Amino acid sequence: MTTAELATFAASNKTGKSMRIAYLVNRYPAISHSFIRREILALERAGIDVQRIAIRGWDEEQRGDTDQRELTQTRHVLRGGPLPLLVSFGQLLAARPRSILRALRLVWRVSRRADRPVSIHLIYLLEACQILRWLETDKVTHLHAHFGTNAAEVAMIVRELGGPPFSFTVHGPEEFDKPEFIALAEKMKSAKNIIAVSSFGRSQLMRQVDQEHWSKIRVVHCGLEPAFHDDVGEVPPLPG
């Protein structure tokens, strides 16, 4: 679902139950990711329960009160070191060996053309095992990743392990510079929805997959806080 569709669902939900989704970002919170924070807070105002998950970022300085609050609500996958990841992998291997086998096949397929060694993609698999445990404990029904690089790959592996449907937002230009190295087409085929931040981005995504997947691609623009415009002031006239 797109952000707008999730908000519409929450507004029309007559069951009285809160919809529970999770956001996955490589680093969160971060000064450069304020648009993600605004998106999460907007969804929560619409009545959606949003779990925050980041790969790293727990030790970065947070300058604003809002990001400091976001930090306390965010789980960071690598914060506990490798042991929790290995434990999660071992538990899943014992309980769902076929799922682990499918995920390993996916990792091998993705890593063959990647610009990073297979060991990095195996770490993504360990991260996915940890995230899957959190999602199942919290009864999360949808996972959304920001950026079509490593966060989207981890979300795809979570899905392969038996996790919930996922979507991801592609910002560019990195994803468009080397789509074959990050298995962009593979992610798009596996995802339930793909979000582009502009019509140009959507056109670049449409080049990566067959027409049957084009209906998954939606455009959701990244906006600015209203206060941003208040601080601009009057624009001086051009010289001459």
Residue-number span of the structural domain to which 200 is assigned: 3-10+17-225
Which strands sit side by side in the sheet containing 166-170, from one edge to the other? 74-76, 49-56, 20-27, 142-146, 166-170, 193-196, 217-219
Query: Is 154 within the bounds of a domain?
Result: yes
In a domain, 236, yes or no: no
For residue 180, being part of any structural domain is answered with yes
Q: Is residue 145 part of a domain?
A: yes
Number of domains in the chain: 1
Give dist(CA 165, CA 162) in Å, integer.
Answer: 9
pLDDT of residue 18: 65
Predicted pLDDT at 5: 54
Taking the C-alpha atoms of residue 188 and residue 104, their distance in angstroms, rounded to an integer, is 19
**Predicted pLDDT of residue 175:** 85
20, 40 Cβ separation under 8 angstroms: no
pLDDT for 60: 80
Q: What single string gives the DSSP state of each residue in the chain?
A: --HHHHHHHHHH--S-PPPEEEEEEEE-S-GGGHHHHHHHHHHHHTT-EEEEEEEE-TTS---SHHHHHHHHTEEETTTT-HHHHHHHHHHHHHH-HHHHHHHHHHHHHHHTT-SS-HHHHHHHHHHHHHHHHHHHHTT--EEEEESTTHHHHHHHHHHHTT---EEEEE--SHHHHSTTTTTHHHHHHH-SEEEESSHHHHHHHHTTS-GGGGGGEEE------HHHHHHH-PPPPPP-
Instruction: Please tell me whether the overall predicted TM-score, pTM, comes out greater than 0.85 for this model.
Output: yes
The confidence score (pLDDT) of residue 11 equals 46
Asked if residue 146 belongs to a domain, the reply is yes
Within-domain flag for 139: yes
Asked if the structure places residue 234 within a domain, the reply is no
Contact (Cβ atoms closer than 8 angstroms) between residue 51 and residue 22: yes
CATH code at position 80: 3.40.50.2000
pLDDT of 116: 86
Answer yes or no: is 207 within a domain. Answer: yes
pLDDT (tens place) for every residue of the chain, 240 residues total: 455 555 544 444 454 456 899 999 999 998 888 889 999 998 999 889 999 999 998 988 777 888 889 999 999 999 999 999 999 999 999 999 999 999 999 999 999 888 889 999 999 999 999 999 999 999 999 999 999 999 999 999 999 999 999 999 999 888 888 888 889 999 999 999 999 999 999 999 999 999 999 999 999 887 666 665 665 556 566 665
Of 141, 124, 143, the closest CA to residue 85 belongs to: 124
CA distances from 38 to 3, 16, 33, 98, 126 (A): 11, 24, 9, 39, 29
